[in-house]
Amino acid sequence: MTPKEAEEITSAFFDKLENGITSKYHEYLGNVKNIVCKVQNRTIYSINKKVCHADYGALSDAFIEIKNDIIFLIKRRGNLIDSLKPSLGKIAGVIAYRLAKSQIIHLQEGCAFCSELCTAKKLNQLFALRCACDYMGIQCHYVPEHIRKELFYSFSYRHVNQETLGLVFDALKELP
């Protein structure tokens, strides 16, 4: 394979990845309206207040970081590993890490200061996990709940890096 062919393949991969993440993001925000507010006992959509807003600049920045991380991962491997191509789990780990750490979805005042623990406060983490699972071809709801909770906790409160998450996602791929 010539360097030009490799560059074209890499460019096509990143274009497809960016389009996939962006379309998942729009789809996901459309589904936010189905979250039930425990305080008002209604769906968020029926509250007639905007619950969250999207920061498309943060999404774009996150994708640039995803791309840089994957390129770095490939270059760092060199001849150390049999394949220069990272596993699905490694790439999913990069996707999850960058999306979870980026503040893409912002809650409006009413939800941001609510004392109830609900799904709305985990929108960034849920989005990150769904995108990573989708990339690997795993349905997010098939990931055992205790593992999802541990991932959300790690995204929010622990130092976890792309490599560690890559190992977790490689292990998730092996689940029945």
- What local confidence, expressed as pLDDT, does residue 132 receive? 92
- Report the candidate in 91, 69, 72 with the shortest Cα–Cα distance to residue 17: 91
- Residue 89 inside a domain? The answer is yes
pTM beyond 0.85? no
- What local confidence, expressed as pLDDT, does residue 69 receive? 92
What are the helix and strand counts (H, E) for the chain?
A: 7, 4
Dig out the tokens for 107 from the structure.
């809650």
- Report the candidate in 136, 129, 134 with the shortest Cα–Cα distance to residue 154: 129
- Residue 173 inside a domain? The answer is no
Dig out the tokens for 70 from the structure.
């994957």
- What local confidence, expressed as pLDDT, does residue 75 receive? 79
- What local confidence, expressed as pLDDT, does residue 61 receive? 94
Cα 33 to Cα 89: distance, rounded to the nearest angstrom = 30
- Residue 176 inside a domain? The answer is no
Give the number of domains in the chain.
1
Q: Which long-range contacts (CB under 8 A, 24 or more apart) does 70-79 make?
A: 70/14, 70/94, 73/162
β-pair type (42-43, 105-107): unpaired
**What are 93-141's pLDDT values in tens digits?**
999 999 999 888 877 666 656 666 666 667 888 889 989 999 999 888 8
- Residue 28 inside a domain? The answer is yes
Rounded to the nearest angstrom, the gap between the alpha carbon of residue 74 and the centroid of all alpha carbons in its chain is 20
Q: Which domain holds residue 21?
A: 3-168
- What local confidence, expressed as pLDDT, does residue 10 receive? 81
- Report the candidate in 70, 76, 75 with the shortest Cα–Cα distance to residue 90: 70
Report the 10 Å Cβ neighbour count for 80: 7
- What local confidence, expressed as pLDDT, does residue 112 receive? 59
Residue that is written with structure tokens 């609510």 in the block: 114
| Low-confidence stretches of the chain (pLDDT beneath 50) | none
